[in-house]
Structure 1
């Protein structure tokens, strides 16, 4: 690498320098890059290569955030500089290459996302273009409503009258779980149609326009109860009334009926609740659409259009000769009643009505006429109209002569093209956009002064008329304005003209599917897809271990443990158990353990005495041990081996009930008994004896024998039937019912009908008389619990209550550093294996607190439940905070969900600056996850440039330490003191601690090289640091006179005076000499020298050597101190601990932001290291 040359100045324009620096940024570490840039060129921040790229461009492209920060903060790099190739800034490049951390850093340092490149793309547009292919926004997706405007009449639904200058979420709908598919904004009220067909309104309710049965004002949306049982398909509204179309074709209206626009007969003055429009003209016809103006209402079917209200020329019918100015009921527009005419769309404004047929003909109803304004406009998706003139004679008190405005129509087709018609031109034209790139629209809205659009990519734009016209024959390269691909298919005159509209991008709109505004253009609303729509990294909850936990509790129970509280003796076997579990599962045991119960009333059980550890011992009669084992197994786990397919019972024939004989032996003995030689049978023939036995045999005996053989096992010895009988005796009805579907064949269990009972769970509040432990929350609330359940479910309580800790035998409440609300959730999960509070809670902060406690107590499954609940509540506002939270508390599933959520909505989050709160480590992890999520990132890797300067001699930056560049020291003289401080910090981080069983020293600890402190002090007299202090921080085995412990030797006193002896270990001296040799190779550019290099080269003065006797004496003192500490009574230690806590409370040391107070025992003399004796006597 060439050093700074004489011709390199702050105005350097060397192309070779630029190429070398950009080449270096593609390789090496960030520390090496900074060292090279600072030493190679004075103009490292501004120099450009042949493509116009600066070092900031390349650092952002390579994701070297530390270099980006250094260039912006230390070198004053300009983040707004564009390159020559694409017109990209450093922010463009960081987004394109997927380095979100660099992008956030650039935004923090003043970079803007509004700058466009040569293709008209901003940085947010680049992020939008990189969305995964599966991310498509549709109107059928779950949506969110964003509104903004002057909000004069509470029409925005935010609960206040404050104006909103940017789109803000109407949080009522997310909190209620409602998704909206249509929004209509009017002057005094707003109407929202949900995807489930429910109507919500808000605003001023005067005249009943809200449909709530009153005329009150509602600040937030409220559901119209009168339509709750109807599934609504479309809604239309005007200034004073609302029209609703249901899926079955019914029409409901409500509001002011001054001009009979409600269509209700007989006509009321107002209708504050929805009322159905019933007309003979609509009988047998299905209405497919509705529209509303201030003075009239429009309905249409596939065959005809119907209007009603004030006839000012916009209803499509002639003036009534009798002077009737209003149409009371829906009346068909006869001018549109043609053969083979099918109506597809109809819209209305205050003074005009437009209808579109399926053939593409567009008709305008105004001035008592029906005009055809366009034809062959096929595949129109949406049509809007504004303006119009009304005959002032229809209502002279409201309408003015020559009032109204010019008619303007806007149409959108399926291809995303927009067409407009204005009464001043009288022909339809295609719109061309005054914007830097081509866009195709998916939705439009129109007001008197402006229009708004939504693109197919989800972006929102405001449009303004430019008032200029150009012929389509002009060259396309004349201007950057672009139009849609195809020409307009209309009349010959209009096909050569187009309408130019200037576009301005809306902020905070990135997932839009629908947009609307009121007729005056003062309030706006946009529907955006839920940001979680494309999220597939959803946390899952692992399988339950509830039954497994209690099964383990049963198998591990012993007579000597401290968890069981009852022992059952069955014949000669002992069964340690737990009263609470037995009482909760068995009615028999519940009665037995009740404090006032009389055991004499319960058969086959008696209380004998205490067992080995003082627990109650109950003796059970007439129960076999194996059957009681199955019974306990079912009580603890809600299942047993006799309910398992293919299981062979362990009960042996000899272990059956008393008096029972093996079937094989009895079958052999019966013939001997039958054919025994009695005195009366002597002298009889065999045939006579056989006949006599057949006559004495009872009838049906053969059938009984055959039936028993078919059954396979005698019912009296069937373990299934025996267990079923015992289950009924002990009150286990669920076990008895499930055993009905089990059969024993060939001594194997066969499940005929598998029955599932209720899920096993316990109730903490039941059997409170069996509570044996009390938990006390930090706010003083106590919970009566049961030791067996706590120990079975959590290892935390098992370690605490099943051992010899003081908590296991404590009679007072156990203090838990947990709030009562959270502790209640924990206990609910322990007893029921469920957390309904977490599922139903809407407070994300509370769920996060539960997750923290679950993580501390190692409750993995509850932690997963919290992750699922939090993921359902991720929003654009809390995504960054939740990601930082998940990284802090090791919520891996939640972290993956947050990473993907941020990656899918990175444009919105960057625009809102929501990612600024993330730490550097989390930001790097986010960048890596984002690059992995975008498939195109695999092709956007910048490989190291071949050749270029050599950086092998530059030292890397480790743990935030200083970059080792001596040239930078020469360039920046004031930085020497900061380097000394950072080197001191580095030395502290590299402390080595040595200890062995004897507490002695290693040989390397005794190799010392004392150096005078005064000779090593830097030249600057105002510096408080010294090289000797730095070297002492890296020295471990110094000896300063009297006896010192290894802890003291590892932590030298940096505040020692200049006269105190000092040492430097051999390794530090060798490293410093190697550095001096390396630096001596480089040519010197000036006569300045580094003072501490000369100091190290001097010979250190000698000190008195350490004697062996001093070492032995020190070890004796340490051993004596160790013996003294062992003999210290525990009571005295506890008194000291209480005193420390009292002092901390007295001086308000907890949560004190102004003072840091630490209270500890006074330092004692050094003690020897404790040694475990191998031959210790027990």
Structure 2
């Protein structure tokens, strides 16, 4: 092997011009460059590496990459194994991205090398500069266009103080670890939007159904009562038209707002500050009622509603409506204390709104002309974005008029995220922008960011981070008690005529971030105004998982038909037609040929004589063949019928077919009659060699049909007796076929006392019908399905076994996939095994975190 040849070159038997502690970068550059040459065979490449430097195992190039890094990246398995056997460092990280050899092996798809590294002790917990472990590179299915069209399906994770049951976990216990909401998980509800409040929360699912949870005092939940709810509950909305959907939800400490796609706004909760905007609402509303004033004003095109503690906002691309208590954020004189009904916010002419944000003290409007309109302290001013860049979002914090003049942290701040993923913080007291930088973590793209009380909550390419911002440096004169005497005080700032002045400070603000390792493939994030409750929507673990396709098995009794004769021990009726005999089974004939059933019931003996003029044995053979096998006759069969009729028969095939049809209709074999009629009506007449059976399928047979024909008894556990039809058991299972055709040919009782009746009944019913959907609708538990596979394995019931494997896969979760895989390996369940492996590959990071929660 290449490994044996490579291993002969060691520092002990070769004279180097450097030492074992060599750190000469040029040596490493030669080694890493050589490893990229795919045309060189392993033994020659190994010899070159070993001769280049005495420290060939650990020396790193100018990008911090060792020979182990490169061998793992380019799938040089033999080289990698040789280096590891020489004692190479396995968990070193490069300078380029902080990646270990395991990171690189998985990223470049070198699975054999990744397995080798893990076997030699590589750490899967090591994080790169993006705080990602190696296993998070295993599968990012959303990066592939083939999955772009898949419908989104989200799981919700929540954590926080949970003081008022606002997380919906069923209790008020705080948690620092993201956990799923059991109510939504068990009901398989996919959440689309979340509004977290300090006292209650709202959830909107993909179907547009609203759920509420938390402290219900004042009617915040909108469910008609003021009781608190520990778990989410559906809330009815008085929609005005069929198909109207909720598109936006918002919750404050005191009230809730909803917006539908018809621009209808609904409100409920406390109305102490007139924040509901509903006429005759009183002090509170316990059910959602529409804000009629907006409809009276012919408002249309609303895109969002914002609920704040003392006021509410609704806006479209052209206008903004605001109502509640005025703290200077409404763009009107501060002497106007209350606006009880929606009022349009005054905007500059020709303003096109991109988005609106606000808190209790200020309202910020970002326009499509890239201007920032700030409504604060009863005035409006325009701010130009930093470097005139377009913005993704703005967060509004602070602005308490009573405290902000004192130079405290309550002064107004605007956190701005640009389209180039740069964060700036605008500070009211200094009138400057401060650029924010992350410490020790590299984030190239920011999808969403929240900023509250010098803390940030960030969504970046499926990862979620939480961190703390450094305090904004404030000049010492601004911290003096008498700021009004200084010309740069806040009072002079807002009276300055140069309100468009924006400066970028030379000082930067550092943000210390920490990633939530237990969150994977996140699509949206939410938090409350106090920054104490958090929620994440992440892609469902089943989004990219597709159940394997079961091979369709034809529903027929072909094997039974081919093996039956008048001397076997299974048949219970013999037909005599045209001096020929045909063995058959009453149950199948009764179910599929009602006309023959009527004739059979008139006979007491098992020998039935069918003497009908012009009916030949060949005709009956073809009908019997169809009854058992669903096989339609073709033109060759018509020729055989013509031959059996003799010289006086019709000469045209169509006439022979019509004659045959008379007896088919007499025996009421309806599907076959329909098939023949469809071709008799065509001109020219013909019968296809291979007919389309999809239009003429027989209905399935069921165990409960024709109980008077039961001819065998199955004794199960607890001495429970299940009667059955011998022909079905023989047709479906080789176990019963051997039993009744050999040893127990004359027996009518089967002793299976080791099998409980709750398992035997479904087995017998499935043998009759092979009805997968009926079996699925029984909603059997996982334990039941596991035991059923064991019994199927005992009796070689392959078709039912595969169905059980599929149903188990349908119940797969992050916590259970390992257990399912163990079972599949023990009982050789190929479908279950492959499904589990695919599921684990698609969710490996989550499976790893579930198996190692402390890590």
For normalisation by structure 1, the TM-score amounts to 0.58
Aligned equivalents of 1:546 and 1:886: distance in 2?
27
Q: Verify: 1:791 aligned to 2:706, yes or no.
A: no
| Residue 139 of structure 1, CA deviation | 11
Q: Unaligned 5+ residue runs, structure 1? A: 6-11, 23-44, 393-400, 471-489, 600-605, 610-615, 665-711, 917-1178
Aligned equivalents of 2:827 and 2:853: distance in 1?
19
Aligned equivalents of 2:552 and 2:299: distance in 1?
56
Aligned equivalents of 1:227 and 1:870: distance in 2?
41
Contact 2:436 2:508 in 1 (8 A): yes
Aligned to 2:264: 250
Aligned to 2:587: 580
Q: Secondary structure at the match of 2:447?
A: strand
| Residue 654 of structure 1, CA deviation | 6.4
| Residue 306 of structure 1, CA deviation | 0.4
Larger % of strand: which? 2
Aligned to 1:521: 531
Aligned equivalents of 2:384 and 2:213: distance in 1?
38
Aligned to 1:622: 612
Give 2:393's match in structure 1, choosing from 382, 398, 418.
382
Q: Deviations over 1:240-265 (max 9, x none)?
A: 32211112222222333333322222
Aligned equivalents of 1:306 and 1:618: distance in 2?
88
| Residue 743 of structure 1, CA deviation | 0.5
Contact 1:374 1:427 in 2 (8 A): no
Aligned to 1:542: 551
Contact 1:238 1:293 in 2 (8 A): yes
Aligned to 2:286: 272
Over 3 Å counting, the alpha-carbon distance change for 1:645 and 1:352 in structure 2 is farther
Q: Secondary structure at the match of 1:908?
A: helix
Q: Secondary structure at the match of 1:279?
A: helix
Aligned equivalents of 1:329 and 1:168: distance in 2?
40
| Residue 758 of structure 1, CA deviation | 5.7
Query: 1:231-380 counterparts in 2 under 5 A?
Result: 231-279=245-293, 283-286=297-300, 287-319=302-334, 325-333=337-345, 335-336=346-347, 338-375=348-385, 379-380=390-391
Give 1:901's match in structure 2, choosing from 839, 843, 848.
839
Contact 2:449 2:457 in 1 (8 A): yes
Over 3 Å counting, the alpha-carbon distance change for 1:110 and 1:913 in structure 2 is farther
Q: Verify: 1:180 aligned to 2:191, yes or no.
A: yes
Select between 891-900 and 146-155 the one with higher mean Cα deviation: 891-900
Aligned equivalents of 2:581 and 2:428: distance in 1?
100
Give 2:207's match in structure 1, choosing from 196, 201, 204.
196
Q: Deviations over 1:132-176 (max 9, x none)?
A: 655888997222111122222222233333333222223433443
Over 3 Å counting, the alpha-carbon distance change for 1:836 and 1:820 in structure 2 is farther
Aligned equivalents of 1:304 and 1:818: distance in 2?
72
Aligned equivalents of 2:285 and 2:178: distance in 1?
33
Q: Secondary structure at the match of 2:729?
A: helix
Q: Secondary structure at the match of 2:218?
A: helix
| Residue 442 of structure 1, CA deviation | 1.0
Over 3 Å counting, the alpha-carbon distance change for 1:783 and 1:123 in structure 2 is same
Q: Verify: 1:773 aligned to 2:765, yes or no.
A: no
Aligned equivalents of 1:53 and 1:430: distance in 2?
32
Aligned equivalents of 1:382 and 1:14: distance in 2?
52
| Residue 298 of structure 1, CA deviation | 0.6
Q: Deviations over 1:409-446 (max 9, x none)?
A: 33434443334333344344443222342431112223
| Residue 639 of structure 1, CA deviation | 5.1
Q: Deviations over 1:786-813 (max 9, x none)?
A: 2212222233332333x2234x544434
Aligned equivalents of 2:270 and 2:370: distance in 1?
35
Contact 1:139 1:514 in 2 (8 A): no
Aligned to 2:821: 883
Aligned equivalents of 2:510 and 2:737: distance in 1?
76
How many residues are paired up?
Answer: 775
Contact 1:139 1:181 in 2 (8 A): no
Q: Verify: 1:557 aligned to 2:535, yes or no.
A: no
Contact 1:512 1:526 in 2 (8 A): yes
Over 3 Å counting, the alpha-carbon distance change for 1:730 and 1:199 in structure 2 is same
Aligned to 1:831: 768
| Residue 738 of structure 1, CA deviation | 4.3
Q: Verify: 1:444 aligned to 2:452, yes or no.
A: no
Contact 2:322 2:344 in 1 (8 A): yes
Q: Secondary structure at the match of 1:208?
A: coil
Aligned equivalents of 2:501 and 2:781: distance in 1?
60
Aligned equivalents of 1:404 and 1:719: distance in 2?
95
Aligned equivalents of 2:636 and 2:245: distance in 1?
54
Aligned to 1:1167: none
Aligned equivalents of 1:780 and 1:160: distance in 2?
47
Contact 2:372 2:384 in 1 (8 A): yes
| Residue 521 of structure 1, CA deviation | 1.6
Contact 2:57 2:89 in 1 (8 A): no
Aligned equivalents of 1:863 and 1:255: distance in 2?
55
Aligned equivalents of 2:757 and 2:384: distance in 1?
71
Aligned to 2:230: 219
Q: Verify: 1:113 aligned to 2:125, yes or no.
A: yes
Aligned equivalents of 2:668 and 2:151: distance in 1?
54
Aligned equivalents of 1:362 and 1:558: distance in 2?
91
For normalisation by structure 2, the TM-score amounts to 0.78
| Residue 390 of structure 1, CA deviation | 6.8
Aligned equivalents of 1:128 and 1:634: distance in 2?
50
Contact 1:63 1:102 in 2 (8 A): no
Q: Secondary structure at the match of 1:166?
A: strand
Q: Deviations over 1:71-104 (max 9, x none)?
A: 99xx999976668998766765775654554566
Aligned to 1:910: 848
Aligned equivalents of 1:569 and 1:555: distance in 2?
18
Contact 1:418 1:441 in 2 (8 A): no
| Higher radius of gyration, 1 or 2 | 1
Q: Secondary structure at the match of 2:412?
A: strand
Q: Verify: 1:530 aligned to 2:540, yes or no.
A: yes
